[in-house]
Structure 1
Amino acid sequence: MKHKSIYAIAAMCCLASVQTMAQKTLGEATKGKFLFGTAVNMQQVNGVNAAESAIIASEFSAIVAENDMKPQPIHPAEDRFNWDNADKIVAFAEKNKQTLTGHCLIWHSQVPNWFFVGEDGKPATPEVLKERMRKHIHAVVGRYKGKIKGWDVVNEAFEDNGSYRNSKFYQILGKDFIKYAFQFAHEADPNAELYYNDYNVETPSKCDAIVQLVKELKAAGLRIDAVGSQSHMHMINPTVEAAEASFKKLKAAGVHILITEWDISILPSPYEGANISTNFSYSKEMDPYRDGVPADVQAKWNKRMLDMFNLFLKYDDVIDRVTVWGVTDNGTWLNGFPIRGRMDYPMLFDRNNKRKPIVDQMIKLAKKYKTIKKK
């Protein structure tokens, strides 16, 4: 008699547990309104974290790679690609009949240094960098042509004040690096949707800059289907009104909207935003809920989640996907950002891999909205 692996047994037990919590999931409740997804890592995809693997497979209609499709892990050397993890993520999505988004092709962070260095050791020329971008994008997008619905083509190209980020891409190629990236991605897979993705899109100056970018790309005859708003949120900011104002601007610009990395930190914030290069020193005052979240604070977080989710549903004619950036409180990146060692509670599943009560409230809210035909 063959014995099943401990991971397989654990996954089946967790899946059964998840399925008995409620007949509906957010992925099911939002069907026809927008996809409801999550970011995945290799422990989940490989079944090492069997509990979270089971949750992802049963609860979500879409997934995106948290790290393994970014330039550095997938293309560490000019003549070498690491396809193993990305291939497994594609297979995981296919197995679970989930829509997969590619994240991301061009970003100032998590990109290998060789991209920007010429053979003489000096900064790469515009011609060299442009050709490296073309080869990278054609290789990655081309490998998964027909398997990935859309790509975050360029990630975080603007500062909050609306100026272009002074990345190495911008230093060498100017703002046209964005146009080249969208051109190359469309060449590699003409049927794939193409997205621009950023954080703090609710900031008026940044949103205005993104709208201008959309207009410039369209004027150049380039495809851009949607703008991704990462939506890393805190207990106060951004306000619902600020988020809605950004939705109105993007809708008027003729693009759809993606909520790409949604989480709401319950902890005090030393600043607003999601610049991953920023870290602050640990203090107990900034980590107040190690023994659990007080009921009144939890109620405020629940209301915050419902208020934002209600806004997403209100704009479901243009919002195509809502993706949470993680699965459980235990695995959230916010336990280590922007202050390492804290205990945050920003996700829809708790540290025991159980659905929080807020999920059923969100499902009930989704049922109240009639599904409308997408334009």
Structure 2
Amino acid sequence: MKLRRWIAAGAVAVATAAVLTSPATAGRPYDPTDQSLRNLALRHGLAVGTAVDLAALNDPADPRYRELAASEFSTVTAENAMKWESLEPTRGTYNWGPADELVTFARQHDQRVRGHVLVWHNQLPAWLTNGVADGSISTAELRDILRRHITNVVTHFKGRIWQWDVVNEAVSDPWDTPSTLHYKGFWAEHLGPGYIADAFRWARAADPHALLFYNDYNIEAFGSRDPANDKTQFVYDMAKQLRAKGVPIDGIGSQGHLGTQYGNFDTFQVVEALRKFAGLGLATAFTEVDVRSQLTEGVQAGNEAEINPRLQAAAANFDVLLQACLAERHCLSFTVWGFTDKHSWVPGWFTDPPEGMATIYDENYQPKRAYQALKADLIYSGPPYVLPRIPQRPRR
């Protein structure tokens, strides 16, 4: 069901009154008259990005999507166009067109590109998974296929990608079977956990200058700190081990998929996690931020008593993540996973119970409280607690 547009009355009008030095960044310089998220973030040396739906970007009946994707954000991520099933649907035949189109769009609008994703256990082409299942692709051949895919993709985009999500979601959750955290999915099952180090080394060999990230969800803050059940601790220990082995990992991407029905975290908890990763010499980034809400019968009927608390809770969660990123100077970018409810992945994925309202613009491209919270953070944050970013150099 399509939701009504709900915009809280009295949205605060903001002005860039604070005085900060403007760090040199790629793209256009800071403009005090420009109230876009991308421009306001320039004051902190921070990149603000969005995942992009290529179909929406090219829809002539929906020009507002393209306008906002270009004007509000300084980085873009392909929502699906760089995933394996999209790039190589037939073995040995690559479809570069949609991904190249996004890279061209980014160049035209002075944007950087986050590459998503080189290695993931989902959205793999059928020829690959079927070949492994029926035995026509051996373990040795599978490893070589992975090496060639990473090399081909990174080489194709060499010099045009700022950050690569090299490995995505390699770690299980406490509710999985077994409940003890472990390396999960297709690649761990068939190649063992060593594929992670291999993937980073192959990506670095193909592009010495791109930043290489491990990306995962539910790693915004520490819990028990027991690696058997605390996913953030597990990922921290994994990253520490990779660094000790000289693996060229440059950063950790925390996806930031949150929900208003959960307790979630406060800013100090998230800052602590970011700083622990920074202590390993790693950059950090929030890579897929959205905050979904349950679409109860009351919400779908337009009951503001149910809608308004969800809008405010969503804004608070966006706020926490951006505040934490601003507070930790090694946090280089903050990316929302789609910016409008009109093209959000959430309603199609979370159906029992139905969920939605996850982005910073409603279905009519009107900014929500979450958008205003992000804007306020970028305007009113400054020294001594918020300082320009510390750039990350790619590891050899």
Cα distance in 1 between the residues matched to 2:133 and 2:327: 55
Q: 2:322 aligns with which of 309, 323, 336?
A: 309
Cα distance in 2 between the residues matched to 1:51 and 1:248: 38
Structure 1 pair 267–243 and aligned structure 2 pair: CA distance change class (3 A): farther
Structure 1 pair 338–357 and aligned structure 2 pair: CA distance change class (3 A): closer
Query: Post-superposition shift, 1:120?
Result: 10
1:213 corresponds to 2:238: yes
Partner of 2:196 in structure 1?
178
Q: Secondary structure at the match of 1:265?
A: strand
Query: Post-superposition shift, 1:136?
Result: 0.6
Structure 1 pair 128–36 and aligned structure 2 pair: CA distance change class (3 A): same
Q: 2:265 aligns with which of 239, 249, 255?
A: 239
Q: Secondary structure at the match of 2:294?
A: coil
Partner of 1:265 in structure 2?
292
Query: Post-superposition shift, 1:373?
Result: 4.9
Cα distance in 2 between the residues matched to 1:329 and 1:341: 17
Q: Name the aligned partner's letter for residue 90 of structure 2.
A: A
Query: Post-superposition shift, 1:56?
Result: 0.6
Q: Secondary structure at the match of 1:151?
A: strand
* Structure 1: stretches of 5+ with no match in the other structure: 1-21, 269-283
Deviating more after overlay: 298-307 vs 26-35? 298-307
Output the aligned Cα RMSD. 2.4
Q: Secondary structure at the match of 1:30?
A: helix
Partners of 1:65 and 1:103 within 8 A in 2: yes
Query: Post-superposition shift, 1:153?
Result: 0.4
Cα distance in 2 between the residues matched to 1:362 and 1:227: 22
Pairing 1:1-375 to 2, within 5 Å after superposition: 23-31=34-42, 32-48=44-60, 49-116=62-129, 121-122=134-135, 124-161=137-174, 163-202=181-220, 204=223, 205-235=230-260, 236-240=262-266, 241-267=268-294, 284=296, 288-291=299-302, 293-294=304-305, 295-315=308-328, 317-339=329-351, 342=354, 344-370=356-382, 371-374=387-390
Q: Name the aligned partner's letter for residue 221 of structure 1.
A: G
Deviating more after overlay: 214-223 vs 110-119? 110-119
Query: Post-superposition shift, 1:118?
Result: 5.3
Structure 1 pair 118–160 and aligned structure 2 pair: CA distance change class (3 A): closer
Q: Secondary structure at the match of 1:69?
A: coil
* Structure 2: stretches of 5+ with no match in the other structure: 1-32, 175-179, 224-229, 392-396
Query: Post-superposition shift, 1:344?
Result: 2.2
Q: Name the aligned partner's letter for residue 199 of structure 1.
A: Y
Q: Percent identity?
A: 29
Deviations 1:46-80 (A, max 9, x none): 24431111111111111000001001111112221
Structure 1 pair 250–234 and aligned structure 2 pair: CA distance change class (3 A): same
Deviations 1:134-186 (A, max 9, x none): 11111111011001112100000001246334322112211011111111111
Q: Secondary structure at the match of 2:299?
A: coil
Q: Name the aligned partner's letter for residue 291 of structure 2.
A: I
Partners of 1:199 and 1:229 within 8 A in 2: yes
TM-score by length of 1: 0.83
Greater relative contact order (Cα < 8 A, sep 6+): 2
Partners of 2:362 and 2:368 within 8 A in 1: yes
Moved over 6 A (4+): none
Cα distance in 2 between the residues matched to 1:208 and 1:123: 38
Structure 1 pair 301–360 and aligned structure 2 pair: CA distance change class (3 A): closer
TM-score by length of 2: 0.78
Structure 1 pair 74–314 and aligned structure 2 pair: CA distance change class (3 A): same
- State the aligned residue count: 337
Q: Secondary structure at the match of 1:181?
A: helix
